[in-house]
Chain A
Amino acid sequence: MITLTLDGVRVQAQEGETILQAAKRAGIRIPTLCYLEGLSPRGACRLCLVEVRTWGGRLVPACATPVQEGMEVVANSERLRELRRAILEMLFAERNHICAFCVSNGHCELQDLAAELGMDHVRYPYRWLPFSVDLSHAKYGIDHNRCVLCGRCVRACAEVEGAATWGFSGRGIFTLVEADLGEPWGQSKTCTGCGKCVQACPTGALFEKGKATSEQVKRPAILLEITERRPRA
């Protein structure tokens, strides 16, 4: 067993566990977006940043950093609140999030995080770049205007479904998640149509066709359920 402190509270953790897992057990809330139980951590969104006092105040993603004996971690502070809010604002400024006009309105992790973290407006200038919507798949659609590039779809498809349909193309804010080598999703030769990516997506970027906004409730927990049910080798 490893002992560390989280916001001044002594917490026990297993070797190899992450700061996020230890915090969860101790009932300490750390906001996350790209992390999803059942998928490998990626450390992509930085919303779960915590400060490690014993590493000279270094900021590390809690979802991807293993615990260490004697580690002192700050999970909630004014500095972290400000940083997390700034990260959220950049996500909103970078794509076109119009909640009132979104399939995920009312069931969106990004929208909930904004409310939770007190983001009452976006201080950065909006980019308002045009992004496309691909409706070529028989059952699902993808709207790049709402994508936060968290990669949950990429990992769900590769790690749980084993199809590896999704990948990233382009760079920086022009990065896009793309099916296969960039052809329309509906023409993908690898996609099985299982919908795991849709269930894993935290925003309105991936959605089910033919469902009204009120019915567009995602089941991200299903990824963990499937991996737990699977017989281990």
Chain B
Amino acid sequence: MPRLRVATVWFSGCSGCHMSFLDLDERLLEFAERAELVFSPLVDPKEFPDDVDVVLIEGAVGNTEHLHTLLEIRKKAKVLVAFGDCAVTGNVPSLRNPIPREEVLQAVYGPEDPPGLEEGEVPKLLPQALPLHAVVPVDLFLPGCPPSADRIWAFLRPLLHGQTPALPASERKFG
């Protein structure tokens, strides 16, 4: 059986979901038997490959770069997973959403021409941090801030065996 082509992506999030993924510990060996990590902050390739079976996306869509990347990924990945609360609900990055973008940037960088206000060396900040499904269709949702390694495994393991994950209520909680 060919190994599943899995990618992970990091948008507007704290990388906690990726840290939790690494917490799979020895289960990573079983993961590696079944899957190949073709793109991720944890591996070298810089270009998102064409045919990805499963992509786990951590983080909200916070700026124009995330937006373009997400639209590209949606074309290239079969199963797109909102990985963790920021991807599912906006979560912590969405704390800024009730406040105008200009005010947020000026509070952080000062009143003079803060980066992110317009397209420049850093991408333009979107008016609001969006959950993934506000931008593209999302196939599966894995809540948690971060989802624990056990929860990630309960979700990933069926996927690695060609099944659709169905988490029990206790493993579906936000927060």
Contacts and interface: CB of A to CB of B under 8 A. Distances in A.
A122 B131 CA distance: 9
Given A120-B172, A121-B133, A131-B98, 20 more contacts: A96-B94, A96-B97, A98-B89, A98-B92, A98-B95, A99-B174, A99-B175, A100-B91, A106-B175, A114-B173, A115-B169, A115-B170, A115-B172, A121-B88, A121-B138, A123-B133, A125-B134, A126-B90, A128-B98, A128-B128
B175 A96 contact: no
Nearest to A101: B92
Interface string A123-158: 101101111000000000000000000000000000
B175 A120 contact: no
Interface residues of A, number: 26
Nearest to B168: A115
A102 interface: yes
B82 interface: yes
B58 interface: no
Given A100-B91, A100-B92, A128-B97, A121 B173 contact: no
Contacts, number: 74
Nearest to A113: B169
5 contacts: A100-B92, A116-B169, A121-B133, A123-B133, A128-B128
A100 B175 contact: yes
A133 to B, nearest CB: 12
Given A101-B92, A116-B169, A111 B99 contact: no
A111 B173 contact: yes
Contacts of B85: 99-100
A126 B169 contact: no
A105 B175 contact: yes
A118 interface: yes
A101 B134 contact: no
B174 A111 contact: yes
Contacts of B83: none
Interface in B125-148: 128, 131, 133-134, 138, 141, 143, 145
Contact of B89 (A105, A122, A131): A122
Given A126-B90, A126-B97, A130-B99, A120 B141 contact: yes
Contacts of A106: 175
B160 to A, nearest CB: 20
